[in-house]
């Protein structure tokens, strides 16, 4: 099942262009906070904040290496986001008139009979 | 080319579970603001605010029909988001060590020749 909280955090991270840039940069390989900061003109503190948000969203993993903090992409970080968008696009394309699929996404909502579309 | 502002707004909308629910509901067919509101226990004003945000993000289109406002999904609303995530996932999967692809995503950053994707 799709975790709503995870999706909230992942999409919120993707809504920030700086965080998208960091993900794309880390797509080319791991980097320290300093290496991420250098080309941006941003402060180290500012960059740490962005990386922390990406870490909280489960998109990035960091670990201390000597005096540096090494950052890399988490495994398959955007799979949940992709799955949600893909599901939604299929739903939309097919114009499902039942909401079975909806209640698959939100099983907590209950009673899918007669969605009255 | 991917519009950064569009991506910011689209992903920000998707970060909100209520807005995701609205999109999924509209995937089953158009609905008025009242129809969207009814199953949620939300106020009409609250729902209007969510729909307005989705409209600003280009995900939803609304029009006045009599005293109601009819809402429907925009055409191919999440294509930009999907394209970005898809591009990013390919980049990540391939671990491109050049940043050519990065500069294809951010053409304002310099020299997009030979994107080599």
Q: pLDDT value at position B6?
A: 87
Distance of residue A24 Cα from the nearest chain B Cα, in angstroms: 6
> Do the Cβ atoms of B17 and A25 come within 8 Å?
no
Q: Looking at beta carbons, which residues of chain B come within 8 Å of A23? A: 88
Q: pLDDT value at position A18?
A: 95
Quote the mean pLDDT of chain B: 81
Q: Which two tokens stand for residue B10?
A: 């689209």
Residues near A42 by Cβ (< 8 Å), separated by ≥ 6?
A18
**Which runs of E-coded beta strand occur in chain A?**
31-32, 60-65, 68-73
State ipTM: 0.74
In this complex, the residue of B85, B96, B99 whose CB is nearest that of residue A78 is B85
| Paired residues of B62 in beta bridges | B71
Residues in chain A: 117
- pLDDT tens-digit profile of B12-37? 999 999 999 999 899 888 999 999 99
Alpha carbon distance A66, A53 (integer Å): 22
Element (H, E) at A86: helix A79-94
- pLDDT tens-digit profile of B43-61? 999 999 999 999 999 999 9
């Amino acid at each position: 099942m799709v975790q709503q909280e995870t999706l909230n955090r992942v999409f919120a991270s993707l809504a920030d262009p700086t965080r998208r840039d960091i993900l794309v940069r880390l797509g080319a390989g791991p980097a320290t906070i300093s290496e991420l900061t250098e080309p941006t003109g941003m402060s180290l503190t500012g960059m740490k904040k962005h990386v922390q948000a990406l870490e909280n969203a489960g998109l990035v993993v960091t670990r201390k290496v000597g005096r540096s903090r090494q950052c890399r992409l988490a495994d398959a970080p955007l799979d949940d986001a992709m799955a949600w968008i893909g599901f939604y696009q299929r739903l939309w394309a097919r114009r499902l008139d039942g909401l079975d699929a909806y209640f698959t996404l939100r099983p907590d909502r209950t009673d899918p009979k007669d969605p009255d579309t």
